[in-house]
Chain A
Amino acid sequence: EDQVTQSPEALRLQEGESSSLNCSYTVSGLRGLFWYRQDPGKGPEFLFTLYSAGEEKEKERLKATLTKKESFLHITAPKPEDSATYLCAVQAGGSRLTFGEGTQLTVNP
């Protein structure tokens, strides 16, 4: 059974204080690892797809990396508007996504 564990559950940062979110996974035959951002009461917004160990992707202040067992979402010099819940999901065979519990990020001005 595919499993995804995200840590920490919640993270408070000061504006400009860089940090990383972790996503550990157990899956048989990873086809893709996905990062989403979700604002309260909204649907998840796609951020990145990573397919193989060693892959990295960047978007503005966010950078996602992937190893054989985990993925990191690095946030550089965050701003208050980066406050959201960040969800990690894995996909093995077929199109089903298995989500982690998410990390709730708060960036204080």
Chain B
Amino acid sequence: DTEVTQTPKHLVMGMTNKKSLKCEQHMGHRAMYWYKQKAKKPPELMFVYSYEKLSINESVPSRFSPECPNSSLLNLHLHALQPEDSALYLCASSQEGPGRGYTFGSGTRLTVV
């Protein structure tokens, strides 16, 4: 298995809703990432998990809450989002350490109404 699987593919939520994005990989990668991508812009790093521990939080607002239940799963819990949070949310994984490329999932297209 050489894929990163993200669900759902599309999500529309209201500003008072609570929802979660899910990401799964079975490549034995020990680093997992959440990225946010706006249209015609490069991916922006949000969070990095290394060996199931949060190692980087790029000053992301608390309405985004990551969770890594085990080495294969990564969640992003969403609460009280704003319309400007609408974007493509990408999950990626890699082997730990420098010189290791990422494998990206196909993303969740999030629309906040």
Contact = CB atoms under 8 A, between A and B. Distances in A.
A44 interface: yes
B56 A51 contact: no
B66 to A, nearest CB: 16
Interface string B46-59: 00101000001000
Interface string B79-99: 000000000101010101111
Interface residues of A, number: 25
Per DSSP, chain A at the interface is: loop
A104 to B, nearest CB: 8
Given A34-B101, A44-B90, 18 more contacts: A31-B98, A32-B100, A41-B107, A42-B106, A43-B4, A43-B6, A43-B92, A43-B105, A43-B107, A45-B104, A46-B103, A49-B101, A91-B99, A91-B100, A95-B48, A95-B98, A99-B42, A104-B40
Interface of A: 31-32, 34, 36, 41-46, 49, 51, 87, 91-97, 99-102, 104
